[in-house]
Amino acid sequence: MKKKPFVTLEKLQEITEKYPTPFHLYDEKGIRENAKALKEAFAWNKGFKEFFAVKATPNPYLIQILQEYGCGCDCSSMTELMLSKAIGCKKGDIMFSSNDTPEAEFRYANEIGGIINLDDITHIKAVEKAVGYIPKTISCRYNPGGVFKISNDIMDNPGDAKYGMTTEQIFEAFRTLKAKGAENFGIHAFLASNTVTNEYYPMLAKVMFELAVKLQKETGAHIGFINLSGGIGIPYRPDQTPNDIRVIGEGVRKVYEEVLVPAGMGDVAIYTELGRFMMGPYGCLVTKAIHEKHTHKEYIGVDACAVNLMRPAMYGAYHHITVMGKEDQPCDRLYDITGSLCENNDKFAIDRYLPKIDMGDLLVIHDTGAHGFAMGYNYNGKLKSAEILLHEDGTFDMIRRAETPRDYFATFDCFPIYEKILEDEDRLYK
């Protein structure tokens, strides 16, 4: 089976005339359509809000598109908080879900109007020390432990995850926070990652809604919102069926009507914290075939590497590959598609059947719009690529320039060696 790229060969050739490969390319049309679909799927809930997981794609130009559809930001670090503030997030637009958090980050999150989502009961004291008081609106992250199943299939293992509070701890946390002045409470849980099933969110919602009813009844705390977090996945493989966000939204609505409404909690806002679902399919890594090697296997070397997309090297993740212009040719060549790092796991595909690849061919590596560029690093002194946004009208703009040696060596700017490096950069990177 095949995946169809959101960009044509002709358009890529036009883009590469201006911006050399490799680069990450994003589809504005797809991003907008998906954000609109999510908003419509949960329109039944008056207080619904998506807090986009900034860690997935920390590019302000892309996040600002989501802001047009009412999205806020889910942050987990100081720099993500700074980015969110810089693009105009106001009080109530930021959810700060972090762990092992420095006091300065709690302080700054509160200062800019972020909702602090406590990962652990011991963080109550940390927030109180950092801020000087307990904010009136606050959230707690829940981890029920054990495994999370849909039917007989194990979806994930929350009991092995470092995040969240136990059932006993979250009840104690609510009582403590209420006694310290908190007035508006939220609960949050992330029990499974990248699920490709419409059943996950409704099942998670049932767990969370039932917990909310018990918490409000037993602690007297007013629960204003329930954050279903992320976990809605995307079909990386061409034989997978995509999630239907409207079916998911309707499934959550039914559970809401069954559990919360009879308990007198029909005013609770539903929050989501999606990253991969919001951006994943609407980004791709564009790279060029620059070497071929015929040894014990057939290798195609490209000008991208794991610095540009870490997921396949890190845990063997599958990303579909299209050889542009050869979509209709038979996939009768068995290749490993490799990058140039001095690491044997720097491979985008292993034993992948593809059409015959010639040097200079453009390859599109699909579904890199989330956890693609964001997970990049600089091993081997490799530099991160540019990011390009393809607009709905076919025009395109650079939304992040490619790194240069000046960026890589920037933290040496207090030493004499830096000036020598700049001299070479000026000569080599004209």
Q: With 70 as the cut, is the pLDDT of residue 138 above it?
A: yes
What is the rounded average pLDDT of the residues 202-207? 95
pTM for the model stands at: 0.95
Residue 280's Cβ-side half-sphere holds a number of Cα atoms within 13 Å equal to 21
Distance CA 372, CA 374 (A): 5
The mean per-residue pLDDT over the stretch 51-77 comes to 98
Residue 145: per-residue pLDDT? 82
Is the pLDDT reported for residue 159 higher than 70? no
Catalytic, 331? Answer: no
Average pLDDT estimate for 168-196: 95
Q: What is the mean pLDDT of residues 199-204?
A: 94
394 burial (CB, 10 Å; 0-12 / 13-18 / 19+) is: exposed
Question: In the prediction, which pLDDT does 425 show?
Answer: 81
Q: What percent of the chain has pLDDT over 70?
A: 97
Nearest to 236 by CA among 276, 272, 191: 276
- The answer on pLDDT for 152 being more than 60 is no
Active-site residue among 89, 140, 342, 414?
A: 342
Tell me which amino acid residue 292 is: E
Q: Which residues contact 39 (CB under 8 A, 6 or more apart)?
A: 48, 50, 69, 70
Measure CA 46 to chain center. Answer: 25
Contacts for 335 with CB less than 8 Å, ≥ 6 apart? 298, 299, 300, 349, 351, 352, 353, 354, 357
Burial (0-12, 13-18, 19+ Cβ within 10 Å), 263: middle
pLDDT at 97: 94
Residue 22, preceding bond cis, omega within 30 degrees? yes
Q: Which of 274, 258, 291 is nearest to 194 (CA)?
A: 274
> How many other C-beta atoms can be found within 10 angstroms of the C-beta atom of residue 293?
12
Share of the chain above pLDDT 90, in %: 89
Structural domains of the chain in order of their starting residue, each with its CATH number: 28-280 (3.20.20.10), 285-424 (2.40.37.10)
CA distances from 263 to 47, 182, 216, 217 (A): 18, 22, 10, 9
Report the interhelical angle of 28-41 vs 60-67 (nearest 10°). Answer: 40
Give the mean pLDDT of the chain: 95
Determine whether 202 is exposed, middle or buried from the number of CB atoms within 10 Å of its CB (0-12, 13-18, 19+): buried
